[in-house]
Amino acid sequence: MFFGDNLANLRIMHGYSRKQLSEKLGVTEQAVWQYENAYTSPKLQIVNELKQIFNVKSKYFYTEDVLARYMTPDDIDLMNIAYRSKVLNMISKTQAEAKHVEYLDAFVNYITAKVSLPTLKIVKLRDEVIDYLNHSEDDRPTQINHVAHLARERLDLAHSTNEDLMFLVEKSGVFVFEKAIGEEIDAYSLWTRSNRAYIILGNMKRSAVRRNFDIAHELGHLLLHYRLEFANLDRKEHKMIENEANLFAGALLLPEDKFAVDMKDIVHLTNPDDYLDLKKKWKTSLQVLGYRATQLGLMEPRNHRNFYAAMHRKKYLEREPLDKIIPIQKPMKVKSIIDLVSKRGLVDIRQMIEDDWKAEVAFFHQMTGIDPGFFNRYMTRNFDFGIQNVTNIHKHMSTDDM
């Protein structure tokens, strides 16, 4: 029996409309609708094309969907997805990303089913922030700066660098993944209804400093905008919320007291090259350093305009110095969990991919952003012939046997 839901979920996750998929298959849009609603079953040739498009095995379509088996029902609310994006209210894109996170959530459930995870620091921090915001009479910028200071403290970020930002955010309980989201979206984040936090980082070729800002920006959404229905924001509201996340990111990455001391060593405020040592130290972009200095009143607006003009003149707005030198940090938490459960015999990764999920390595690469080579390490069978027992057998052999 062909399960139409399996096809519908894969199609939505990949961002295809029924019309787009029908054109790839050489069938009518009505035919795809019929496949998904179990009115007809596709011929074997169509199934073979579907498995190539979605990197799954044929039997994937004839087994209950992995979302039904491993995902908590209604755990993902597309209304709560916070985009770091240049565009607003992209319904089809939001549906695709919500479905993508559903698959990720099912995957995380699968690999952590037999693992006892520590109490999530990020949930405690979020609840502390909510309590503060509910009782604070401070103005909004003061609140945001306080929350950034609190986050830096609770996450155990070092006083004078952001070098371990990715690691500490993951350690706090956030699941961070990479994905080629597209040019118009830098990253997005959300809370599931079961209190699991996700940050999805796009544009994997971005610089380390821009990646740090994306992480900090999304952390701002997770802490400041819990349960906010982003999909219902109008353009003005969306801009305001994005500005709040940007303010949080600047305050988190460049704490006022330490940064103010650093700024005393800048001789020429309008020369971006004078900030290169600070870029190396804080792992933040020259643009962010300039904006933060202006926000804190350490640089006059007129000087900032000249600073920005110099950035443009030197073509630093396209690529800054040191961008190719500072290494980009990649998410490691999920890979560490996979290594742990595999080594302890809790999860057979090969069985997970081929038998339980009925997919290809390429499917998991696309879903998680983890390099295919990582998964391929687990795809070879290990045959144990019990060689260690040969010596004992030899000792018991008689002379006649030899």
Predicted pLDDT of residue 119: 74
For residues 198 and 272, membership in a common domain is answered with: no
> Do 164 and 274 share a domain, yes or no?
no
pLDDT band at 314 (very low <50, low <70, confident <90, very high): very high
Residue 226 within any structural domain of the chain: yes
Backbone angles phi, psi at 84, to 5 degrees: -95, 90
Q: How large a percentage of the chain has pLDDT more than 70?
A: 91
From 37, 64, 91, give the residue that closes a domain: 64
Band (39; pLDDT cuts 50, 70, 90):
very high
More confident residue, 314 or 82: 314
Residue 106 inside a domain? The answer is yes
Same domain (yes/no): 234, 99: yes
CATH number of 39's domain: 1.10.260.40
If asked whether residues 168 and 286 sit together in one domain, one would say no
Compare 185 and 167 and report the one with higher pLDDT.
167
pLDDT tens readout for residues 321-369 = 999 999 999 999 999 999 999 999 999 999 999 999 999 999 999 999 9
Q: Is the dihedral of CA 53, 56, 60, 64 positive or negative?
A: negative
143 located within any domain: yes
Confidence at residue 247, expressed as pLDDT on a 0 to 100 scale: 98
Q: Kindly state whether residue 330 falls inside one of the protein's structural domains.
A: no
In a domain, 334, yes or no: no
pLDDT tens-digit map of 121-169: 999 999 999 999 999 999 999 999 999 999 999 999 998 899 999 999 9
Question: Do 95 and 217 belong together in one domain?
Answer: yes
Give the pLDDT confidence of 54-89 residue by residue, as tens digits. 999 999 999 998 999 999 888 998 888 887 655 555
Query: Looking at the structure, do residues 201 and 120 belong to the same domain, yes or no?
Result: yes
Residues 40 and 116 in one domain: no
pLDDT tens for residues 214-230? 999 999 999 999 999 98
Percent residues over pLDDT 90 in the chain: 80
**Is residue 154 in a domain?**
yes
Between 54 and 394, whose confidence is greater? 54
What pLDDT, on a 0 to 100 scale, did the predictor assign at position 397? 42
The residue among 253, 273, 293 that closes a domain is: 253
Rounded average pLDDT over 83-101: 73
Distances (CA, A) of 139 to 144, 223, 258: 9, 17, 23
Q: Could you tell me if 306 and 235 lie in one domain?
A: no
Q: Is the pLDDT of residue 257 over 70?
A: yes
The H or E element containing residue 175 is: strand 175-178
The total number of structural domains in the chain stands at 4
Query: Are 311 and 317 within 8 A, CB to CB?
Result: yes
* Of 341, 306, 359, residue with least CA distance to 114: 341
Give domain status of residue 192, yes or no. Answer: yes
* Average confidence (pLDDT) over 302-306: 97
Average pLDDT over the chain reads: 91
Give the Cα separation of 1 and 41 in Å (integer): 8
96 and 156 belong to one structural domain: yes
Residue 45 lies in a domain: yes
pLDDT band for 384, please (50, 70, 90 cuts): low
What's the pLDDT score for residue 4? 96
Among residues 278, 200, 201, 284, which one has the least CA distance to residue 250? Answer: 284
Q: Which residues pair with 176 in a beta bridge?
A: 199
Q: For position 311, what pLDDT does the model report?
A: 98
Question: C-alpha angle 257/149/263, rounded to 5°?
Answer: 25
Residue pLDDT, tens place only, 21-37: 999 999 999 999 999 99
129 and 183 together in one domain: yes
Based on the domain organization, do 132 and 22 belong to the same domain?
Answer: no
Residues 193 and 58 in one domain: no
253, 274, 307 - which closes a domain: 253
Contact status, residue 151 vs residue 49, Cβ threshold 8 Å = no
Residue 392 in this model has a pLDDT that exceeds 60: no
Domain that holds residue 273: 265-324
Give pLDDT, residue 92. Answer: 61
